[in-house]
Structure 1
Amino acid sequence: MEKIETARLVLRRPIASDLESLVSINADPEVMRHIGNGRTRTREQTEAGLERAMTEWREREFGMFSVELADTGKYIGWVALAVPTFLPEILPAVEIGWRLDRRQWGHGYATEAAEAVLRYGFEDCALERIVSIRDVANEASRRVMEKLGLRFDFETTVPAHGQRVAVHALIREKFDARRTAKTRSH
């Protein structure tokens, strides 16, 4: 997979030059308040995360997709398929997650990019089930999950820091049925 194009976005593998934009996103307290322990990330933490993301693509058939605006090439965030090792009780599993620059919120970019990544996960990676995990207070992510067809499964606690999270899930059969219904309605 080199890239995925949607109506407004280009999704591609992460590269080293994504670092400055990622540092800015990860340093924003509003962006990070529902992520992990709610703390912002340092430049060093962000750089280590980017290096890990580039390595994961080499080790698996999936990983973090950098998201750019198609018309300008501006980096706006990422959508990823990852193994949620931070929540051992749901393993084995593959999670879809996203993080966008706050200035890009409210434009439907997370939903548009995540829809393309779900399709990649089900069709190209032959996954049977994809989960998404959110802080129980993160209503914006809940709405995106619902738009994507991910359904609430259960609530639990992240062992490392005690955050309450909601686990949502989508199986391939339901994804295929949604796509078929969308095709028929257009």
Structure 2
Amino acid sequence: MGIYLETDRLVLRQFTEDDVDNIVELDSDPVVMRYLTGGRATPVEEVRDEVLPFWLAYYERGEEVGFWAAIDKATGHFLGWFHFRPRSRDPESGVELGYRLRRDAWGKGYATEGSLALIRKGFTELGVERVFAETMAVNAGSRRVMEKAGLRYVRTFHQEWPEQIPGDEHGDVEYALTRSEWQAAAG
């Protein structure tokens, strides 16, 4: 079946090896990477040899979770990506929702729209019991998306990162939504 999902304005599709340049361009914007690497770009070799093969492996295993390229339905332009996947280090925690969009796509509701579609798919088609997302506590934009998608603040926590990023002294936050909470809200 493959990973494919449509919303009013987005097509979420499987990545292909032809997407290397899209990912490199996205990860080259220091503002996009601010809360991830402190603004450092992801080298093309890392995208080509590590990141993209890791994402493509989800499709090869036939999983319906993983990584989606976000495409603007009206223009066909690459806007960024979403992930919706169990976290290997703690599968009991649920399915992790994540997103990274080009700066010119920010503030237009795309992150919320894609997140809502993935949450709905998870709860209605994939048997997901809990969706969670994490970000740096100081990342107000990402926190707003989580809230608009129906996730609620769970906790603030501190973890070790390989490099210091301005703001990480405030920790990270987790937001989550259970299937029963989602069903009650849909009511």
TM-score (norm 1): 0.87
**1:127-138 → structure 2 map (5 Å cutoff):** 127-138=128-139
- The yes-or-no answer on 1:53 pairing with 2:60 is no
> For residues 148 and 16 of structure 1, what CA distance do their matches in structure 2 show?
30
Q: Which amino acid aligns with 2:123?
A: F
Alignment-derived partner of residue 113 in structure 1: 114
How many pairs are equivalent? 177
Q: Which amino acid aligns with 1:167?
A: E
Alignment-derived partner of residue 68 in structure 2: 65
Q: Which amino acid aligns with 2:53?
A: E
**1:12-23 → structure 2 map (5 Å cutoff):** 12-23=13-24
Give SS of 1:143's match.
Answer: helix
> For residues 39 and 137 of structure 2, what CA distance do their matches in structure 1 show?
13
Alignment-derived partner of residue 160 in structure 2: 159
How much does 1:40 deviate? 2.3
Alignment-derived partner of residue 126 in structure 2: 125
Gaps of 5+ in 1: 181-186
Deviates further, 37-46 or 122-131: 37-46
- The yes-or-no answer on 1:30 pairing with 2:31 is yes
How much does 1:19 deviate? 1.4
How much does 1:2 deviate? 4.3
Q: Which amino acid aligns with 1:22?
A: I
Contact kept? 1:26, 1:46, Cα under 8 Å: no
Alignment-derived partner of residue 104 in structure 1: 105
Alignment-derived partner of residue 175 in structure 1: 182
Gaps of 5+ in 2: none
Quick one: structure 1 residues 39 and 83, their matched pair in 2 at CA, closer, same or farther if it must change by over 3 Å?
farther
Alignment-derived partner of residue 40 in structure 1: 41
Contact kept? 2:137, 2:173, Cα under 8 Å: yes
Q: Which amino acid aligns with 1:61?
A: E
Quick one: structure 1 residues 96 and 36, their matched pair in 2 at CA, closer, same or farther if it must change by over 3 Å?
farther
How much does 1:39 deviate? 3.1
How much does 1:100 deviate? 0.3
Post-superposition Cα deviations, 1:117-158, rounded to whole Å, max 9, x if no partner, equal 111222221110011000111000000000011111111123
